[in-house]
Amino acid sequence: LAAKLIDGRKIANEIKDEVKFEVEKMVKEGRRSPSLCVVLVGDDPASKTYIKNKIKACQYTGIESRSIQLPETIKEAELLDVIHGLNNDESVDGILVQLPVPDHITERRVCNAVDPSKDVDGFNVINVGRFCSDQMTFIPATPAGVMEMLRRTGIETFGKNAVVCGRSKNVGMPIAMLLHADGIYETKAGDATTTICHRYTPDDQLRIFTKTADIVVSATGIPKLITADMIKEGATIIDVGINRIKDEETGKTKIVGDVDFNEVANKADLIKVVFCLLMSVFKELRRWDKIIKCHAKICSHMHQMLLRRFYV
Ligand code: ADP
Protein backbone atom coordinates (compact mmCIF):
# COMPACT_ATOMS: atom_id res chain seq x y z
CA LEU A 1 0.00 0.00 0.00
CA ALA A 2 1.33 3.39 -0.92
CA ALA A 3 1.73 6.05 1.71
CA LYS A 4 -0.99 8.60 1.73
CA LEU A 5 0.19 12.11 2.35
CA ILE A 6 -1.80 14.55 4.39
CA ASP A 7 -1.64 17.75 2.42
CA GLY A 8 -1.03 20.28 5.19
CA ARG A 9 -0.87 23.13 2.71
CA LYS A 10 -4.27 22.24 1.27
CA ILE A 11 -5.85 22.05 4.72
CA ALA A 12 -4.30 25.37 5.70
CA ASN A 13 -5.61 26.98 2.52
CA GLU A 14 -9.11 25.66 3.22
CA ILE A 15 -8.99 27.11 6.72
CA LYS A 16 -7.67 30.42 5.43
CA ASP A 17 -10.56 30.65 2.97
CA GLU A 18 -13.05 29.89 5.73
CA VAL A 19 -11.52 32.62 7.87
CA LYS A 20 -11.53 35.06 4.95
CA PHE A 21 -15.24 34.38 4.49
CA GLU A 22 -15.94 35.02 8.18
CA VAL A 23 -13.98 38.28 8.16
CA GLU A 24 -15.82 39.47 5.04
CA LYS A 25 -19.13 38.63 6.69
CA MET A 26 -18.17 40.60 9.80
CA VAL A 27 -17.15 43.62 7.82
CA LYS A 28 -20.34 43.46 5.71
CA GLU A 29 -22.32 43.46 8.93
CA GLY A 30 -20.63 46.70 9.89
CA ARG A 31 -18.07 45.41 12.37
CA ARG A 32 -14.40 46.16 12.13
CA SER A 33 -12.11 43.35 11.08
CA PRO A 34 -10.10 41.60 13.79
CA SER A 35 -6.58 42.78 14.46
CA LEU A 36 -3.38 41.04 15.47
CA CYS A 37 -0.23 42.64 16.86
CA VAL A 38 3.04 40.74 16.70
CA VAL A 39 5.94 41.75 18.95
CA LEU A 40 9.49 40.78 18.03
CA VAL A 41 12.50 41.39 20.28
CA GLY A 42 15.81 41.39 18.44
CA ASP A 43 16.25 40.41 14.82
CA ASP A 44 16.60 36.65 14.64
CA PRO A 45 16.15 35.77 10.92
CA ALA A 46 13.96 32.69 11.59
CA SER A 47 11.64 34.72 13.84
CA LYS A 48 11.45 37.42 11.17
CA THR A 49 10.39 34.85 8.57
CA TYR A 50 7.70 33.47 10.87
CA ILE A 51 6.35 36.96 11.49
CA LYS A 52 6.40 37.81 7.78
CA ASN A 53 4.33 34.72 7.04
CA LYS A 54 1.86 35.49 9.81
CA ILE A 55 1.35 38.98 8.43
CA LYS A 56 0.95 37.62 4.91
CA ALA A 57 -1.77 35.24 6.10
CA CYS A 58 -3.49 38.14 7.88
CA GLN A 59 -3.46 40.16 4.67
CA TYR A 60 -4.96 37.26 2.74
CA THR A 61 -7.82 36.85 5.17
CA GLY A 62 -8.53 40.54 5.69
CA ILE A 63 -7.25 40.60 9.26
CA GLU A 64 -5.58 43.81 10.33
CA SER A 65 -2.03 43.20 11.45
CA ARG A 66 0.88 45.15 12.69
CA SER A 67 4.26 44.28 14.07
CA ILE A 68 6.36 45.98 16.68
CA GLN A 69 10.08 45.39 16.49
CA LEU A 70 12.07 46.06 19.64
CA PRO A 71 15.85 46.08 20.10
CA GLU A 72 17.63 42.97 21.46
CA THR A 73 18.87 45.10 24.39
CA ILE A 74 15.43 46.20 25.57
CA LYS A 75 14.91 45.91 29.33
CA GLU A 76 12.31 43.43 30.53
CA ALA A 77 10.31 46.22 32.21
CA GLU A 78 10.14 48.14 28.93
CA LEU A 79 8.91 45.08 27.05
CA LEU A 80 6.26 44.50 29.72
CA ASP A 81 5.15 48.14 29.29
CA VAL A 82 4.69 47.58 25.54
CA ILE A 83 2.58 44.48 26.26
CA HIS A 84 0.47 46.34 28.86
CA GLY A 85 -0.12 49.10 26.29
CA LEU A 86 -1.43 46.52 23.81
CA ASN A 87 -3.57 44.89 26.50
CA ASN A 88 -5.27 48.25 27.03
CA ASP A 89 -5.57 49.06 23.33
CA GLU A 90 -9.16 48.36 22.30
CA SER A 91 -8.16 48.18 18.63
CA VAL A 92 -5.94 45.14 19.28
CA ASP A 93 -7.68 41.73 19.53
CA GLY A 94 -4.72 39.38 19.50
CA ILE A 95 -1.17 39.74 20.81
CA LEU A 96 1.71 37.46 19.84
CA VAL A 97 5.14 37.84 21.39
CA GLN A 98 7.49 35.92 19.15
CA LEU A 99 9.57 33.46 21.17
CA PRO A 100 12.36 32.97 22.08
CA VAL A 101 13.06 36.25 23.85
CA PRO A 102 16.69 37.17 24.71
CA ASP A 103 18.26 35.51 27.75
CA HIS A 104 18.05 38.58 30.01
CA ILE A 105 14.25 38.49 29.74
CA THR A 106 12.15 35.91 31.62
CA GLU A 107 9.93 34.17 29.08
CA ARG A 108 7.31 33.14 31.66
CA ARG A 109 6.91 36.72 32.88
CA VAL A 110 6.40 37.89 29.29
CA CYS A 111 3.83 35.17 28.54
CA ASN A 112 1.92 35.96 31.73
CA ALA A 113 1.89 39.69 30.93
CA VAL A 114 -0.27 39.16 27.83
CA ASP A 115 -3.95 39.67 28.68
CA PRO A 116 -5.48 36.14 28.73
CA SER A 117 -8.31 37.34 26.46
CA LYS A 118 -5.82 38.47 23.79
CA ASP A 119 -3.31 35.64 24.28
CA VAL A 120 -3.57 33.99 20.86
CA ASP A 121 -0.54 31.79 21.58
CA GLY A 122 -2.23 30.33 24.67
CA PHE A 123 0.95 30.70 26.73
CA ASN A 124 -0.41 32.77 29.65
CA VAL A 125 -0.52 30.51 32.71
CA ILE A 126 -4.26 31.17 33.07
CA ASN A 127 -4.88 29.80 29.59
CA VAL A 128 -2.51 26.87 30.20
CA GLY A 129 -4.53 26.12 33.35
CA ARG A 130 -7.85 26.34 31.53
CA PHE A 131 -6.52 24.09 28.77
CA CYS A 132 -5.24 21.45 31.21
CA SER A 133 -8.68 21.52 32.90
CA ASP A 134 -10.38 20.84 29.54
CA GLN A 135 -11.92 24.33 29.41
CA MET A 136 -12.29 26.37 26.24
CA THR A 137 -9.34 28.68 25.78
CA PHE A 138 -6.60 29.62 23.35
CA ILE A 139 -4.84 26.41 22.44
CA PRO A 140 -1.18 26.63 21.34
CA ALA A 141 -0.98 26.78 17.54
CA THR A 142 1.01 23.69 16.64
CA PRO A 143 -0.98 21.27 18.83
CA ALA A 144 -4.26 22.72 17.58
CA GLY A 145 -2.92 22.34 14.02
CA VAL A 146 -2.11 18.68 14.57
CA MET A 147 -5.64 17.96 15.82
CA GLU A 148 -7.17 19.94 12.98
CA MET A 149 -5.19 17.91 10.44
CA LEU A 150 -6.32 14.64 12.02
CA ARG A 151 -9.95 15.79 12.11
CA ARG A 152 -10.04 17.16 8.58
CA THR A 153 -8.35 14.03 7.23
CA GLY A 154 -10.90 11.84 8.99
CA ILE A 155 -8.36 10.06 11.20
CA GLU A 156 -10.05 8.55 14.23
CA THR A 157 -8.36 9.09 17.62
CA PHE A 158 -11.09 7.70 19.91
CA GLY A 159 -9.73 4.65 21.75
CA LYS A 160 -6.63 4.51 19.54
CA ASN A 161 -3.00 4.27 20.67
CA ALA A 162 -1.05 7.49 20.25
CA VAL A 163 2.63 8.20 20.88
CA VAL A 164 3.95 11.72 21.23
CA CYS A 165 7.72 12.15 20.98
CA GLY A 166 8.70 15.31 22.83
CA ARG A 167 7.27 16.89 25.97
CA SER A 168 7.99 20.61 25.54
CA LYS A 169 5.44 22.89 27.20
CA ASN A 170 4.51 24.61 23.91
CA VAL A 171 4.41 21.59 21.61
CA GLY A 172 4.76 18.01 22.92
CA MET A 173 2.83 18.43 26.18
CA PRO A 174 -0.20 20.23 24.67
CA ILE A 175 -0.31 17.73 21.78
CA ALA A 176 -0.46 14.89 24.31
CA MET A 177 -3.16 16.80 26.25
CA LEU A 178 -5.30 17.12 23.14
CA LEU A 179 -4.84 13.50 22.14
CA HIS A 180 -5.54 11.87 25.50
CA ALA A 181 -8.15 14.09 27.19
CA ASP A 182 -11.88 13.47 27.28
CA GLY A 183 -13.71 14.50 24.12
CA ILE A 184 -16.91 15.39 25.95
CA TYR A 185 -15.38 18.56 27.42
CA GLU A 186 -14.81 21.97 25.84
CA THR A 187 -11.42 21.25 24.31
CA LYS A 188 -12.99 18.35 22.38
CA ALA A 189 -9.91 16.20 22.88
CA GLY A 190 -9.12 12.89 21.21
CA ASP A 191 -9.76 10.13 23.81
CA ALA A 192 -6.64 8.28 22.64
CA THR A 193 -4.46 6.15 24.94
CA THR A 194 -1.43 8.39 24.81
CA THR A 195 2.21 7.70 25.63
CA ILE A 196 4.67 10.56 25.96
CA CYS A 197 8.29 9.80 25.05
CA HIS A 198 11.16 12.15 25.71
CA ARG A 199 14.92 12.40 25.81
CA TYR A 200 15.19 9.85 28.62
CA THR A 201 13.06 7.23 26.87
CA PRO A 202 15.59 4.53 25.84
CA ASP A 203 15.67 3.94 22.05
CA ASP A 204 14.54 0.33 22.40
CA GLN A 205 11.57 1.44 24.49
CA LEU A 206 10.65 4.18 22.05
CA ARG A 207 10.50 1.58 19.33
CA ILE A 208 8.23 -0.65 21.41
CA PHE A 209 5.80 2.23 21.92
CA THR A 210 5.82 3.49 18.31
CA LYS A 211 5.34 -0.06 16.98
CA THR A 212 1.99 -0.33 18.74
CA ALA A 213 0.87 3.21 17.91
CA ASP A 214 -1.97 4.04 15.55
CA ILE A 215 -0.83 7.66 15.59
CA VAL A 216 2.73 8.92 16.07
CA VAL A 217 3.38 12.62 16.51
CA SER A 218 7.02 13.64 16.57
CA ALA A 219 8.20 16.99 17.91
CA THR A 220 11.78 16.46 19.02
CA GLY A 221 14.06 18.33 16.66
CA ILE A 222 16.00 15.15 15.87
CA PRO A 223 16.28 14.34 12.15
CA LYS A 224 15.60 10.68 11.29
CA LEU A 225 14.46 9.83 14.83
CA ILE A 226 11.46 7.98 13.39
CA THR A 227 12.29 5.35 10.81
CA ALA A 228 9.99 3.10 8.78
CA ASP A 229 10.81 -0.03 10.83
CA MET A 230 9.42 1.69 13.96
CA ILE A 231 5.97 2.17 12.45
CA LYS A 232 2.99 -0.17 12.45
CA GLU A 233 1.28 -0.82 9.15
CA GLY A 234 -1.52 1.65 8.55
CA ALA A 235 -0.34 4.08 11.21
CA THR A 236 -0.62 7.84 10.91
CA ILE A 237 2.53 9.90 11.39
CA ILE A 238 2.46 13.61 11.99
CA ASP A 239 5.91 15.14 11.76
CA VAL A 240 6.08 18.44 13.58
CA GLY A 241 9.88 18.68 13.61
CA ILE A 242 11.54 21.60 11.90
CA ASN A 243 15.26 20.90 11.60
CA ARG A 244 17.67 22.96 9.60
CA ILE A 245 20.39 20.68 8.27
CA LYS A 246 23.09 20.88 5.63
CA ASP A 247 22.31 18.92 2.47
CA GLU A 248 25.25 16.56 1.97
CA GLU A 249 25.02 16.79 -1.84
CA THR A 250 24.46 20.49 -2.42
CA GLY A 251 25.95 21.88 0.80
CA LYS A 252 22.89 24.09 1.17
CA THR A 253 20.79 24.38 4.31
CA LYS A 254 17.48 22.60 4.08
CA ILE A 255 14.55 21.99 6.41
CA VAL A 256 13.68 18.42 7.36
CA GLY A 257 11.36 16.90 9.94
CA ASP A 258 11.99 14.22 12.61
CA VAL A 259 10.83 11.40 10.35
CA ASP A 260 13.12 9.71 7.85
CA PHE A 261 10.90 10.69 4.96
CA ASN A 262 12.83 8.95 2.19
CA GLU A 263 13.06 5.68 4.03
CA VAL A 264 9.39 5.76 4.92
CA ALA A 265 8.47 6.73 1.37
CA ASN A 266 10.64 3.93 -0.08
CA LYS A 267 8.98 1.37 2.12
CA ALA A 268 5.59 2.79 1.46
CA ASP A 269 4.52 -0.32 -0.45
CA LEU A 270 5.08 -2.28 2.75
CA ILE A 271 3.89 0.24 5.24
CA LYS A 272 0.84 2.31 4.73
CA VAL A 273 1.64 5.56 6.45
CA VAL A 274 -0.22 8.77 6.39
CA PHE A 275 2.57 11.20 6.56
CA CYS A 276 2.80 14.89 6.86
CA LEU A 277 6.14 16.59 6.65
CA LEU A 278 4.84 20.09 6.68
CA MET A 279 3.25 21.51 9.74
CA SER A 280 -0.14 23.06 9.80
CA VAL A 281 -0.88 25.36 12.65
CA PHE A 282 -4.32 26.32 13.77
CA LYS A 283 -5.40 28.39 16.69
CA GLU A 284 -8.51 29.19 18.56
CA LEU A 285 -9.02 32.62 19.95
CA ARG A 286 -11.76 33.24 22.42
CA ARG A 287 -12.40 36.59 23.93
CA TRP A 288 -15.01 37.16 26.57
CA ASP A 289 -16.59 40.52 26.79
CA LYS A 290 -19.45 41.80 28.92
CA ILE A 291 -21.57 42.77 25.94
CA ILE A 292 -20.29 40.66 23.13
CA LYS A 293 -18.61 37.32 22.94
CA CYS A 294 -15.92 37.31 20.39
CA HIS A 295 -14.37 34.25 18.90
CA ALA A 296 -11.43 34.16 16.59
CA LYS A 297 -9.26 31.53 15.13
CA ILE A 298 -5.71 31.68 14.06
CA CYS A 299 -4.42 29.26 11.58
CA SER A 300 -1.05 28.86 10.11
CA HIS A 301 0.74 26.62 7.73
CA MET A 302 4.51 26.57 8.04
CA HIS A 303 4.05 29.57 10.28
CA GLN A 304 1.54 31.37 8.15
CA MET A 305 -0.96 32.58 10.55
CA LEU A 306 -4.32 34.11 10.46
CA LEU A 307 -6.93 35.18 12.86
CA ARG A 308 -10.67 34.97 12.78
CA ARG A 309 -13.14 36.71 14.92
CA PHE A 310 -16.87 36.67 14.90
CA TYR A 311 -19.55 37.60 17.31
CA VAL A 312 -21.64 34.84 18.75
P1 ADP B 1 9.83 21.90 20.74
O2 ADP B 1 9.57 23.15 21.48
O3 ADP B 1 9.76 22.05 19.26
O4 ADP B 1 8.97 20.76 21.22
P5 ADP B 1 12.24 21.35 22.30
O6 ADP B 1 13.63 21.36 21.81
O7 ADP B 1 11.81 22.31 23.34
O8 ADP B 1 11.33 21.44 20.99
O9 ADP B 1 11.89 19.93 22.85
C10 ADP B 1 12.39 18.76 22.30
C11 ADP B 1 11.72 17.59 22.99
O12 ADP B 1 12.16 16.38 22.39
C13 ADP B 1 12.00 17.48 24.47
O14 ADP B 1 10.80 17.32 25.17
C15 ADP B 1 12.87 16.22 24.58
O16 ADP B 1 12.69 15.53 25.81
C17 ADP B 1 12.39 15.42 23.40
N18 ADP B 1 13.38 14.42 22.95
C19 ADP B 1 14.71 14.57 22.82
N20 ADP B 1 15.29 13.42 22.40
C21 ADP B 1 14.30 12.51 22.27
C22 ADP B 1 14.26 11.13 21.90
N23 ADP B 1 15.35 10.46 21.55
N24 ADP B 1 13.05 10.53 21.88
C25 ADP B 1 11.93 11.18 22.21
N26 ADP B 1 11.91 12.47 22.58
C27 ADP B 1 13.09 13.14 22.62
pLDDT tens readout for residues 133-149: 998 888 888 888 888 88
Question: pLDDT at residue 206 above 80?
Answer: yes
What pLDDT does residue 51 have?
Answer: 85
Domain of residue 204 covers 141-280
CATH of the domain at 64: 3.40.50.10860
Are 237 and 295 members of one domain? no
What pLDDT does residue 93 have?
Answer: 87
Q: Whose CA is nearest to atom 13 of ligand 1?
A: 166
Question: pLDDT at residue 257 above 90?
Answer: no
Q: Is 121 a catalytic residue?
A: yes
Interface confidence (ipTM) of the complex: 0.93
Number of domains the chain contains: 2
The verdict on residue 78 lying in a domain is yes
Q: Is the CB of 210 under 6 A from ligand 1?
A: no
The verdict on residue 69 lying in a domain is yes
More confident residue, 236 or 264: 236
Mean pLDDT of the chain: 81
The verdict on residue 39 lying in a domain is yes
Are 146 and 275 members of one domain? yes
The verdict on residue 4 lying in a domain is no
More confident residue, 2 or 269: 2
The verdict on residue 3 lying in a domain is no
Q: Is 59 a catalytic residue?
A: no
Are 273 and 246 members of one domain? yes
What pLDDT does residue 264 have?
Answer: 65
Q: What is the pLDDT of residues 267-309, one digit of tens each?
A: 543 333 333 332 222 233 222 222 122 222 333 322 223 332 3
What pLDDT does residue 185 have?
Answer: 93
Are 51 and 156 members of one domain? no
Q: Is the CB of 165 under 6 A from ligand 1?
A: yes
**Alpha-carbon span 291 to 240, nearest angstrom:** 39
Pocket test for ligand 1, best of 196, 197, 220 (most atoms within 8 A of CB): 220
Q: Is the CB of 199 under 6 A from ligand 1?
A: yes
Are 100 and 153 members of one domain? no
Are 129 and 204 members of one domain? no
The verdict on residue 1 lying in a domain is no
Question: pLDDT at residue 122 above 70?
Answer: yes
Catalytic residue among 93, 118, 119, 121: 121
Are 146 and 40 members of one domain? no
Are 123 and 162 members of one domain? no
The verdict on residue 5 lying in a domain is no
* Range 28-43 average pLDDT: 90
Percent of the chain with pLDDT over 90: 42
Give the model's confidence band at 3: pLDDT under 50 very low, under 70 low, under 90 confident, else very high: low
CATH of the domain at 196: 3.40.50.720
- Distance from the alpha carbon of residue 45 to the mean position of ligand 1, in angstroms: 23
Are 147 and 88 members of one domain? no
More confident residue, 145 or 220: 220
Question: pLDDT at residue 311 above 80?
Answer: no
The verdict on residue 194 lying in a domain is yes
What pLDDT does residue 19 have?
Answer: 83
Are 176 and 233 members of one domain? yes
Are 50 and 146 members of one domain? no
Are 102 and 177 members of one domain? no
What pLDDT does residue 270 have?
Answer: 38
